[in-house]
Chain A
Amino acid sequence: MAIANYLYLSAILFTIGAIGVVIRRNAIVVFMCIELMLNAANLALVTFARINGNLQGQVVAFFTMVVAACEVVVGLAIIVTIYRSRRSASVDDASLLKR
């Protein structure tokens, strides 16, 4: 098995996450798809670290995890705030600026 298979898997998972962000309507599911994309990028970083034989890729993946954790906290707080005022977690309902 070539080591690039991990990169293929990462690309496929990233693509699935991107589709999910576009076609799902529930804000929380959209958010989970973003997490999937971040995870796929992490897998690529870990694989690159192994290809290059140093740990810098793993360090970057570690930083990505920290940033993803922050992003989840703030994003979910925003979703809760929107839900509190609009009683809906659908991304289509938050279109007040359009009307």
Chain B
Amino acid sequence: MINLALDIGKTAGPEAVLFYFLAPLSVFAGLGMLIVKKAVHSALLLAWIMISLAIFYIAQDALFLGIVQVVVYTGAVMMLFLFILMLVGVDTSDSFVETIRGLRPIAITAAIGFGGLLTTLIGRATFNRPITGLARANSNGNANGLAEELFTKYVFAFEVVSALLITAALGAMVLAHSQKTRSPYAQRDLSIARFRKDNLKDAAGLPGSGVYALHNAVDVPALLPTGKAAPTSISAVLEARGDMIESSKFQLQQEEEEK
């Protein structure tokens, strides 16, 4: 196994270079997440942060967690996020109008205070044992060591987590399921609706368009017995669009009939 952690406790060399290269980039990506307007850009920045965290895990002798981070987070979770973004609408950009007045300055001040508290705490903390590193714990390989912990000491937690996963899957199915309140209109429903109307004039259906030998006649109205065009025989859309053709052109001419 590649051991990037050269000197335990005081890490130096490759790991320091890696850290000082990736850590500022991930912090900038995090700040970018707060600033960018579109949710998709936020998602991409978050994916970047997750990948750099995976690299940090691997650099810290957590090979298994690094791989799982890439597979679960940047693979599955970010894919789910992007999928839901597509569903909800990609171009819904966040409005930056403050709905609660003074929220943003208060939030940023509080966050700076909180971050300052955390960092000074870490700075003051003394780890009262020598920093040992994971060389001994990982002697059988990181995945084997983790498996040993998981299936002996934490086996009950592991089982509970499996129950949690099943519950979450079921919950998501229940939440995302939408019950249709009525069945879609079928031919039978349309027929019943026609007969239940006050007027039985078109209970048998609307007249078809005129069928003439010289023309494929969806846009040519049929003729009523009086010789006038029947307005209901062609689609209202065609009529509004001006695509209706006079049917008189296609009628048998009087003189031809006489010959």
A43's closest neighbor in chain B, by CB? B53
Q: Are B131 and A3 touching (Cβ within 8 A)?
A: yes
A52 contacts across to B, CB distance below 8 A: 129, 132
A92 contacts across to B, CB distance below 8 A: 99
Cβ of B76 under 8 Å from chain A: yes
Q: Are A15 and B114 touching (Cβ within 8 A)?
A: yes
Nearest Cβ on chain A to B237's Cβ, whole angstroms: 29
Q: Are A81 and B175 touching (Cβ within 8 A)?
A: yes
Which A57-80 residues have a C-beta within 8 angstroms of B?
58-59, 61-63, 65-74, 76-80
Number of A residues with CB within 8 Å of any CB on chain B: 70
Number of B residues with CB within 8 Å of any CB on chain A: 88
**Do A6 and B115 form a contact, CB below 8 Å, given A59-B149, A63-B161?**
no
Q: Are B127 and A83 touching (Cβ within 8 A)?
A: no
Partner of B12, one of A1, A35, A74: A1
How many A-B pairs with Cβ below 8 Å?
231
Complex alpha-carbon distance, A17 and B115, angstroms: 11
Query: Which of B58-66, B194-202, B227-235, B245-253 is found at the contact surface with chain A?
Result: B58-66
**Do A50 and B23 form a contact, CB below 8 Å, given A42-B53, A69-B77?**
no
Complex alpha-carbon distance, A17 and B150, angstroms: 29
Complex alpha-carbon distance, A80 and B172, angstroms: 10
B103 contacts across to A, CB distance below 8 A: 22-23
Q: Are B165 and A70 touching (Cβ within 8 A)?
A: yes
Q: Are A33 and B33 touching (Cβ within 8 A)?
A: yes
Nearest Cβ on chain A to B42's Cβ, whole angstroms: 5
Cβ of B39 under 8 Å from chain A: yes
Complex alpha-carbon distance, A28 and B122, angstroms: 31
Interface 1/0s, chain B 161-190, versus A by CB < 8 A?
100110111011001101000000000000
Partner-A contacts on B (CB < 8 A) = 5, 8-12, 15-16, 19-20, 23, 26-27, 30-31, 33-34, 39, 42-43, 46, 49-50, 53, 56-57, 60-62, 64-65, 68-69, 72-73, 76-77, 80-81, 84-85, 87-89, 92, 94-95, 99, 103-104, 107-108, 111-112, 114-115, 118-119, 122-123, 125, 127, 129, 131-134, 136-138, 142, 145-146, 149-150, 154, 157, 161, 164-165, 167-169, 171-172, 175-176, 178
User: Which 4 pairs of residues, A with B, have the shortest CB-CB distance?
Assistant: A53-B132, A15-B115, A70-B168, A77-B175
5 CB-based A-B contacts, threshold 8 Å: A13-B27, A32-B33, A61-B62, A70-B168, A74-B175
